[in-house]
Chains A and B, each alone.
Chain A
Amino acid sequence: MTGLEREIRRTFADAGVQGRLHAAPIDGPTREVGVDPDEPAVMASVYKLPLLVAFCRRVDAGEIDPRERVTVHPAEHTAGPTGLSVLRDPVTMSWRDLACSMISVSDNTAADVLLRRVGLAHVNETLSDLGLERTRVLGGTADVHRSLVTDTATADTAAAFRALTSNDAAPAVRAYDAVLASATTPREMTRLLAAVWSDRAASPERCRFARELLGAQAWQHRLRSGFPPVGVRVAGKTGTLAAVRNEVGVVQFDGERPVAVAVFTRAARAEELLPRADAVIGQAARLAVTELRSGRL
């Protein structure tokens, strides 16, 4: 174990989380930083990144018109804190704007509507096509919510989350299990990001679209919080499910090569809000990226 790896592990432990991390420059696999980079981790909303890539490929194939308009009714909503999930009335928007809402504010409803259009099979085909054999998407957010209700023996999603976010019990749920939930490894997510950044994941035009959406990430309290306020751009996709907090993204200092980083955590505490657990994602990413920028590896 390198000194850096030990330091990152200490940082995770001090924040009360179990963490996995992989960081590598986009341009080559020879330099990297890893903390259990090949251990499986549940994705939570990080699954929206493979879904975005699969959407881009279906657009490239001419099978989906990104400008086609679709109307989403409140009855189809998946529970969630942002985007269409919190609206009261039917909304009509294009497929690509649904994708935009899905990535920039992690809109659960937009993601489930888009997943139905893209097809789960196409998402997994995309993953295996890109050689990501340990990444598997089993369903959308609504499917996860259904499994939570079953596993916590509750009546609805809200009650399931109340059970999950209490420190007085510790229900075992499939959604926390990398074998039974949509899962990946940190290394496979940095590889997927590298494919998006080097125009290999889809056509150059669609890859640029995907990079723009990831760059519009509204949540700044995870990866972004670890880097200086100016002179660096961070594009990413978060994933949150009670004690699970993730973000995968690309950090680019002005004039330097972009670095892909994937951080997956699970907190000991159950609360929905744990600022320290969010911030450690940025701290760990900063330790890794600083090492890769130093040229010492």
Chain B
Amino acid sequence: MDLLRHLEFFVTIAEEEHFGHAAARLGIAQPPLSQGLQRLERSLGVVLVDRSSRGARLNAAGRDLLPRARALLEGAEDLRRAASAHGSAPVRIGAVPQLPIRTLAALVTACSNPPEIVTAPSTELLDALSAGRLDLAVVLHPALLGSLQSGPVHHLATTLLLPAGHPAPGPVVLRSLRGLALAAPPRAHAPAAHDLLLDTLEQRGLVTTPLGAPDDRAALALVAAGRAFALTAEPDLDAPGVVRREIAGEPLPLRLRVAWRGPRPAVLDAVLDVLP
């Protein structure tokens, strides 16, 4: 348990006397806030807040412990201030390989200090976040976020990459791609998002076999070889033997979500502004 983070929840709830208002002030959703408080209560072995339909009020134990919680938070802030005088570590940001290069570059330049960037599959990024090895990550949605915090769902437009021999000049009806495999990262990189894509294709009449392509290079090679089609949010991706086509009908958006652990990272707003 992140004691300081949970103490911050407790103090904010005490000040707002309302879960919703406290969550809004902390910039998180209500469920993780109240789960955090419950975890704190469990680890301390004492109930701190009386919940009712009208709000949240401290009980006697909560009132007694509130000043000590504040003192700990102030002590931690002191420690951070003192540490920052000795130099500052760069923020560590992770992103899935599907994030377009220009968006990634915009995200880096939006940070006031140059961040450390890691590119990895969603599941790895989420593990790294949970283990504290990253401060923030752009992952595929939907994904299992566990106790991580997260922002809204972002949509990026995608287009099709097809073998050059494909006849259609205009937007392509997905079911006409029957017979071609789908060049896509392995399911283990993001099981829920992978399953959602295959189910959506099937709903639109295209039952296809995914062919493991961990990155754009592998996907382009499979498409150029005439074995597969690919979906990309990258506007400039191109290679000999590959043509780009719009998808006919409903778009197939790439869904992304920003996730982080613990306190809202300082660069979060800048990152959210860069994503559509």
The reply to whether the CB of B68 lies closer than 8 angstroms to some CB of chain A is no
Residue in B38, B144, B196 whose CB lies within 8 Å of A17? B144
Chain A hits for B153, CB < 8 A: 167-170
The reply to whether the CB of A180 lies closer than 8 angstroms to some CB of chain B is yes
The reply to whether the CB of B270 lies closer than 8 angstroms to some CB of chain A is no
**Which of B27-35, B111-119, B211-219, B237-245 lies at the binding interface?**
B27-35
In the complex where A167-B196, A169-B152 touch, is A16 in contact with B34 (Cβ < 8 A)?
Answer: no
In the complex the two chains form, is A170's CB within 8 Å of B141's CB? yes
In the complex the two chains form, is A16's CB within 8 Å of B195's CB? yes
Q: A1-39: which have CB < 8 Å to B?
A: 13-18
In the complex where A169-B152, A177-B30, A180-B19 touch, is A18 in contact with B35 (Cβ < 8 A)?
Answer: no
A174 to B34, CA, bound (A): 10
The reply to whether the CB of B108 lies closer than 8 angstroms to some CB of chain A is no
Chain A hits for B146, CB < 8 A: 18
In the complex where A17-B144, A167-B142, A178-B38 touch, is A269 in contact with B152 (Cβ < 8 A)?
Answer: no
In the complex the two chains form, is A268's CB within 8 Å of B144's CB? yes
Closest chain B residue, CB of each to CB of A167: B142
Main secondary structure on chain B at its contact with chain A? mixed
Closest chain A residue, CB of each to CB of B53: A138
Main secondary structure on chain A at its contact with chain B? loop
In the complex where A167-B141, A268-B142 touch, is A180 in contact with B192 (Cβ < 8 A)?
Answer: no
The reply to whether the CB of B208 lies closer than 8 angstroms to some CB of chain A is no
Which of B51, B143, B152, B195 gathers most chain A CB within 10 Å? B195
In the complex the two chains form, is B34's CB within 8 Å of A177's CB? yes
The reply to whether the CB of B226 lies closer than 8 angstroms to some CB of chain A is no
Chain B hits for A40, CB < 8 A: 35, 38
Chain B hits for A197, CB < 8 A: none
In the complex the two chains form, is A180's CB within 8 Å of B143's CB? no
In the complex the two chains form, is B257's CB within 8 Å of A268's CB? no
In the complex the two chains form, is B191's CB within 8 Å of A14's CB? yes
A13 to B35, CA, bound (A): 21
Closest chain A residue, CB of each to CB of B253: A168
The reply to whether the CB of B255 lies closer than 8 angstroms to some CB of chain A is yes
The reply to whether the CB of A218 lies closer than 8 angstroms to some CB of chain B is no
Chain B hits for A103, CB < 8 A: none
Closest chain A residue, CB of each to CB of B34: A179
A71 to chain B, nearest CB (A): 30
In the complex the two chains form, is A16's CB within 8 Å of B31's CB? no
Which of B35, B37, B143 gathers most chain A CB within 10 Å? B35
Chain B hits for A268, CB < 8 A: 142-145, 192
In the complex where A14-B191, A269-B195 touch, is A177 in contact with B142 (Cβ < 8 A)?
Answer: no
Query: Across chains A and B, which 9 residue pairs bring their CB atoms closest together, nearest first?
Result: A172-B29, A179-B34, A268-B192, A177-B31, A16-B192, A268-B142, A268-B144, A269-B142, A179-B38
Q: List A residues at the B interface (Cβ < 8 Å).
A: 13-18, 40, 167-170, 172-174, 176-180, 267-270, 276
Q: List B residues at the A interface (Cβ < 8 Å).
A: 19, 23, 29-31, 34-35, 37-38, 51, 141-146, 150, 152-153, 155, 191-192, 195-196, 253, 255, 257
List 4 additional A-B contacts (Cβ < 8 Å) besides A18-B144, A174-B30, A270-B142.
Answer: A170-B141, A176-B31, A179-B31, A267-B142
25 pairs from A and B in contact (CB 8 Å cutoff):
A14-B191, A15-B191, A16-B144, A17-B144, A18-B144, A18-B146, A167-B196, A168-B255, A170-B141, A170-B152, A174-B30, A174-B31, A176-B31, A177-B34, A178-B35, A179-B31, A179-B35, A179-B37, A180-B30, A180-B31, A267-B142, A268-B145, A269-B142, A269-B195, A269-B196
